[in-house]
Structure 1
């Protein structure tokens, strides 16, 4: 039993190392060890195994690690029937051509939202939306959508979290959630970052379960609040069509 526990612990630690790369692409041994709270000797042994299996690659000139080809090989076997990022890509591209702005797809992951797909605007001035970016649930149009249409238990867990930022008023956030529920969409105007605006809507699957948040974003020079409200019905219609494709 003890050997089994040690084996499971090694797997957990190896996965923790891989998860470090959700925030950046290149990391050194010391950075990884600090991030996951392990001795460098332990991390070095785990990295050697991951490198041997092709899950990480070490750059000999910089002595930094990055994800290896095996990660890409695994991702190619994701089923389009199960993965919204692949299944809804064509619809997102069509929406981008129609409205001319960056279109993103977010999922909730704990107390964060994760951008799982993005179709960049073709305009010269645009918001760059890197896939894999993690953002807080306390600010932003997509964050409010993902929280507003989650269960009351999930909402209260987030709103009463000890990690809730002091800069965000809880009662004002509650009022925003109620407004999002009434309108069926959310907007943000320089809320998370200066110069950026967004409008987001929920995507429900055929069972009525919340699956993702669909957003349109761009610079405030093109996206006034009136423009965001004008685009909202278009996104709602697109989200309904997308949701029908999800099991």
Structure 2
């Protein structure tokens, strides 16, 4: 029997082309989709908004790129980093609207933390711009790194400290670092101060950039998987009060991200 000839739905075909292009990339912009698919930008934008409302696509705040959903039921299991970035994004958008200061969320790597999302483009505070995505942050000298290092379990902390230890480091320097981390763990949030003597990729920047930062851990089933920060520019002599006044909101935001991750991993 001959197959009945049925016309295809052109709009659906184009929408699927957009979805497949987004899924095949590690992040793509509206202009890149326009160049690859030849569709008008207003048409592409309507399709992307529709796909976003359907939970198939999300837009990263940090650079405006579009990504296939890492948490949609329509997708195979994604890596935790992609899930954290996607889930954190709307929480960070709301946080930026409330405190009018930039925030970033970072995940642990071998010897550093890596930023996976930031709301800096929404806040547009030039003196405290964070990111871009992929920026490496020190475990020792940034509030973001300290928040994770202080709350990971003892074995992981020992392993990371061993990786970070300079060749000529003394025992007193390590004890000073552990004391800092114990204080962070006790109070539940981290700051850049006090400074520590070990040198790494971020130490000089942290000492010179005139900023204050505060960070808390983001937990999944009780285990830290990321750190969320708030950063602001400060005048000479100004203390950490500029960020500490937002501590409760930062904690609530991190807890909300953690609960959303737990629902995904229930």
- What interval of TM-score do these two structures reach, taking the shorter chain for normalisation? 0.5 to 0.7
Q: Which ranges of structure 1 fall in alignment gaps of 5 or more residues?
A: 1-68
1:202 is displaced (CA, Å) by 0.7
Do the aligned partners of residues 72 and 234 (structure 1) sit closer, same or farther apart at CA in structure 2, a change above 3 Å counting?
closer
| Bigger Rg, which one | 2
1:219 is displaced (CA, Å) by 1.1
Task: Give the alignment partner of residue 242 of structure 1, picking from 240, 243, 257.
Answer: 257
Structure 2 equivalent of residue 204 of structure 1 = 219
Structure 2 equivalent of residue 161 of structure 1 = 163
Q: Distance in 1 between matches of 2:169 and 2:252?
A: 34
Q: Distance in 2 between matches of 1:89 and 1:188?
A: 24
Do the aligned partners of residues 117 and 161 (structure 1) sit closer, same or farther apart at CA in structure 2, a change above 3 Å counting?
same
Structure 1 equivalent of residue 27 of structure 2 = 72
**Residues 138-178 of structure 1 deviation map (CA, whole Å, 9 limit, x = unaligned):** 21101111111111011111223374376893222111111
TM-score (norm 2): 0.59
Do the aligned partners of residues 71 and 171 (structure 1) sit closer, same or farther apart at CA in structure 2, a change above 3 Å counting?
same
Give the superposed CA RMSD: 2.6
Structure 1 equivalent of residue 35 of structure 2 = none
Q: Distance in 2 between matches of 1:150 and 1:242?
A: 18
Q: Distance in 2 between matches of 1:96 and 1:127?
A: 12
1:124 is displaced (CA, Å) by 4.6
Are the counterparts in 1 of residues 104 and 130 from structure 2 also a CA contact under 8 Å? Answer: no
Q: Distance in 1 between matches of 2:254 and 2:164?
A: 33
TM-score (norm 1): 0.64
1:108 equivalent to 2:108? Answer yes
**Residues 99-123 of structure 1 deviation map (CA, whole Å, 9 limit, x = unaligned):** 1111100100111101011110233
Task: Give the alignment partner of residue 184 of structure 1, picking from 188, 204, 221.
Answer: 188
Q: Which ranges of structure 2 fall in alignment gaps of 5 or more residues?
A: 1-23, 29-65, 73-79, 196-202
Count, aligned residues: 177
Structure 2 equivalent of residue 133 of structure 1 = 135
